Chain A
Amino acid sequence: MAQVILFLQQLLNGLSLGSIYALIALGYTMVYGVLRFINFAHGDVYMLGAYAGFAITNVIYTIIPLDQYNAISRHTFIPIFVCTAIVMLGAMIFCAILGMSIERIAYRPLRDRPRLTVLITAIGVSLFLQNMTQFFVGAQPQAFKQLIPVRAIEGLGDLTVLSSQAAIIISTIVLMVFLRLVVMKTKIGLAMRALSVNPTACSLMGVNNGLVISFTFALGSALAAAAGILVAMDSPSINPLMGNLQGIKAFVAAVLGGIGNINGAVVGGLIIGVLETLVVGYSNELTTLFPALHYLFPEGVSQFRDAISFAVLIIILLFKPTGIFGRVEREKV
C-alpha cells in the first residue's frame, strides 16, 4: 500500500510539474501552428513574466504584506486570491504585450524570408532578452515573495499535496478551459486554426492574418507568464537565465505531443513532467538496474533530470518526429 501511495505521490508531483511545462509548451506550439517557426525567445518571455510578477508582488507588499498569512482560511482567502490574481493578470498582460511587440518588431518583417532567417533572429532576441535582464537586475537569483502560504493540504492521509501544487493544477485547468473556449468557440480561435492549415486561403477569405498572429503570440506569452508566476509559488528563486532550461523542456514537450497541436502540447507537458518526477523519484532503483547511470551523473539527481528531456528529444526526433498527435506534412514536389 505504501508503494502505491508513493507512486501516487510522484504522479501528483509530476502532474504539477507537467502543468508548468504544458503552459509554456502551448506558446511554442501555437506559434509554430500559425507561423511554422520555433520561437526561440519564448522561454525568455516566461522568465520576464516571472520578473514582472516579482515586481508587481513587491509593490503589493508595500500595501499588504502577504507573508503575514500562514494558512488559507475563510478570512485569508479573499485577500490572498485577489492579490495573486492581480499579480498573475498583471504579468500576463505584460507578457502579452511583450510577445506581440517582439513579433511586430523582429519577426513580422521577415515573413517572406527563408525560415532560417527568422530562426536566427529568434536566437538573437532570446540572447538579447536574457542578457539585458541580467545586465539590469544582476545575475544573482532574486527571491519571489510569498503569494500563497505553502502548506500541505489537510485530510489527504499519507499523500502530501502542497497548496502551491494545488494552485498550479487548478490554475492550469482554468487556463486550459479558457484556451479551449477561445480556440474552439470564438471567431479568432477559428481564424487561428484556419491559419495553421492554409495562410493564403485565410487572407483570401478576408482574415486579417497579422491580427490573428499577434493574438496568437499574445495568448502564448500570457500563458507563459502564468507559468512563471505559478513556478515562483513553488520555488521562489528567479534568475535571468531560468528561461533556458524550462524553455528547452517545454519545447521538447511540444514536440513530443506533436508540434502545432494544442492538445499535444498539454499531453506532452504532462508526460515530461511525470516522466521527470518518476525517474528522479525512482532514481535509486534505476541506478541499481543501470549502474552506468551513476558513473555518467555522479553529481546526482539534478543533472540526471535535465538530461531526460534531451534524451526524450533525441529519441522522438529519431523515431517519430511528428510526435504523438502530429500530422506528417509532405513537401509538395
Chain B
Amino acid sequence: MDALLKVDRCTIRFGGLTAVSNLDMSIGNRELVGLIGPNGAGKTTVFNMITGVYQPTEGAISLNGERLNGLKPFDITARGIARTFQNIRLFVSLTVFDNVRAAFNLHLKHGPFHALTRGPKFKQEEAEIREQAMDLLKIFNLDRFQDVMCKNLPYGDQRRLEIVRALATKPRLLLLDEPAAGMNPTEKGSLMTLIEFIQEKFDISVLLVEHDMRVVMGICKRIYVLDYGITIAEGPPDQIRRDPKVIQAYLGE
C-alpha cells in the first residue's frame, strides 16, 4: 500500500524531555487510523509535528513522498493536511459562515487586487465559495447557523464547525484532535457516522486522536497506541483491545 503520510523514526525533544520517541507511522489513502494513549502520552505533539507547529528533532515526515520537515504550517496545509485542535480554536470574531469561508483562502484564485476591482471573475469565485461553504455546513447541519457568531454556538456544534473549517481547505489527510470531547453518547454516535461519511465523500484519510474507546474502536481500521512518547502497540482494534501492554498502560499493574 502506497503510504499517503509516512512518519519515519521521528523523535522530538523539548530541552531534557523526550516527548515522542522513534515514532514510525504510515497512513494510506482512505484509511481511518486512530492514535490513542493515556494523557500526556504525546498524541497532540505528534499532531503538532505532522502539521509543522514543531519540528522533529530527528526523523522525517513525508506526504506522498514529499518531505515535510522544515515547512511552515501553512505550507503543510497547502500540501493537503488539515487539523482540528484539542481546545477549540475557532475565529471568535467571525460568524459560522466566515469561519469556513476564511479557510477557502488557501485555494483562492483571485487575490487582493481583484477584491478591490470587483470584476465578474471575482464575483463568480465568491459565489462559488459561498456555495461550497454552505454545502459543507449543510452536511454538518450547521447551515441554519451561518450568520451566528461562532462563539455563541453550543459546544458540540463548535467542535463540528472546526471540522467543517478544516475540510474547507480540501485536505487529503484530516487530523482530528479529540473531536468527541464533551459530547454526550448520542452526539458521539452521530459524530462517528459523520466521520465515516466524510471519509467516503471527500476521499480523505483521517487520523483520529480520541479518548472514548467506543468511538475509536468503532470506526478506526488501525490504531497506534502511545505511552510516554513510545509506540507500545499497533494494529486493528481487536488486537489492541486484547494487548496486555495497552491494558497495563491504561489501568496500571
- Residues on B with beta carbons closer than 8 Å to the beta carbon of A330: 14
Q: Which residue of A lies closest to B48 (CB)?
A: A333
Closest 5 CB pairs of A and B: A333-B53, A333-B48, A333-B85, A333-B44, A330-B14
> Which residues 317-333 of A sit at the B interface, judged by CB distance below 8 A?
330, 333
Interface string of B32-50 (1 = CB under 8 A from A): 0000000000001000100
Q: What is the 8 Å Cβ interface bit string for chain B, positions 74-98, against chain A (1 contact, 0 not)?
A: 0000000000010000000000000
B85 contacts across to A, CB distance below 8 A: 333
Can you name 5 A-B residue pairings with CB atoms under 8 Å?
Answer: A330-B14, A333-B44, A333-B48, A333-B53, A333-B85
By beta carbon, the residue of chain A nearest B83 is: A333
Q: Report the nearest A residue to B177, measured CB to CB.
A: A333
Total of A-B residue pairs, C-beta within 8 Å? 5
Q: How far is the CB of A48 from chain B (nearest CB, A)?
A: 39
> Which partner residue on chain A sits nearest B45 by CB separation?
A333
Q: Which B residues are CB-close (under 8 A) to A333?
A: 44, 48, 53, 85
Residues facing B in A275-307 (CB within 8 A) are none
A: contact size bracket? under 10
Q: Provide the residues of chain A in CB contact with B53, threshold 8 Å.
A: 333
Residue of A nearest to B14 (CB): A330
Shortest A168–chain B CB gap in Å is 39
**Cβ contacts under 8 Å, B44 to chain A:** 333
Chain B residue nearest in CB terms to A331: B53
Q: Which residues of A contact B48 (CB under 8 A)?
A: 333
Q: How far is the CA of A76 from the CA of B48 in the complex (A)?
A: 69
A4 to B44 CA separation, bound complex (whole angstroms):
58
A230 to chain B, nearest CB (A): 39
* Nearest A residue (CB) for B44: A333
Q: Report the bound CA distance from A333 to B45 in whole Å.
A: 9
Bound-state CA distance A330–B85 (Å) is 16
A114 CB, min distance to chain B CBs, angstroms:
11
A333 to B85 CA separation, bound complex (whole angstroms)? 8
- Once bound together, how far apart are the Cα atoms of A333 and B177, in whole Å? 11
| Contact flags B121-147 to A (C-beta < 8 A → 1, else 0) | 000000000000000000000000000
Q: How far is the CA of A330 from the CA of B15 in the complex (A)?
A: 12
Q: Nearest chain A CB to B39's CB is how many angstroms away?
A: 14
Q: Given the complex of chains A and B, what is the CA–CA distance between A167 and B162 in angstroms?
A: 62
Q: Measured between alpha carbons, how far is A333 from B52 in the docked complex, in Å?
A: 11
Shortest beta-carbon distance from A184 to chain B in Å: 24
Complex interface bits, A79-119 against B, C-beta within 8 A gives 1, otherwise 0: 00000000000000000000000000000000000000000
Q: Mark A242-284, 1 if CB is under 8 A from B, else 0.
A: 0000000000000000000000000000000000000000000
Report the separation of the CA atoms of residues A333 and B83 in the bound assembly, to the nearest whole angstrom: 12
Smallest beta-carbon distance A187→chain B, Å: 29
B17 to chain A, nearest CB (A): 12
Q: Which residue in chain A gives the minimum CB-CB distance to B86?
A: A333
Q: How far is the CB of A268 from chain B (nearest CB, A)?
A: 23
Residue of A nearest to B53 (CB): A333
Interface residues of B in 1-42 (CB under 8 A from A): 14
Q: Chain B 106-129 against A: per-residue CB contact (8 Å), 1 yes, 0 no?
A: 000000000000000000000000
- In the assembled complex, the CB of B53 is this many whole angstroms from the nearest CB of chain A, namely 5
The CA-CA distance from A316 to B175 in the complex, in Å, is 37
* CA A330 to CA B54, docked complex, whole Å: 10
A333 to B14, CA, bound (A): 14
How distant is the Cα of A333 from the Cα of B43 in the complex, in angstroms? 12
Instruction: Across the interface, name the chain B residue whose C-beta is closest to A330.
Output: B14
For residue A327, which residue of chain B has the nearest CB? Answer: B15
CB distance from B143 to the nearest CB of A (A): 30
- In the bound complex, residues from chain A placing their C-beta under 8 Å from that of B14 are 330
In the bound complex, CA of A12 to CA of B110 (Å): 62
* Distance, CA A327 to CA B113, complexed state (A): 42
**Cα-based distance from A333 to B51 in the complex (angstroms):** 11
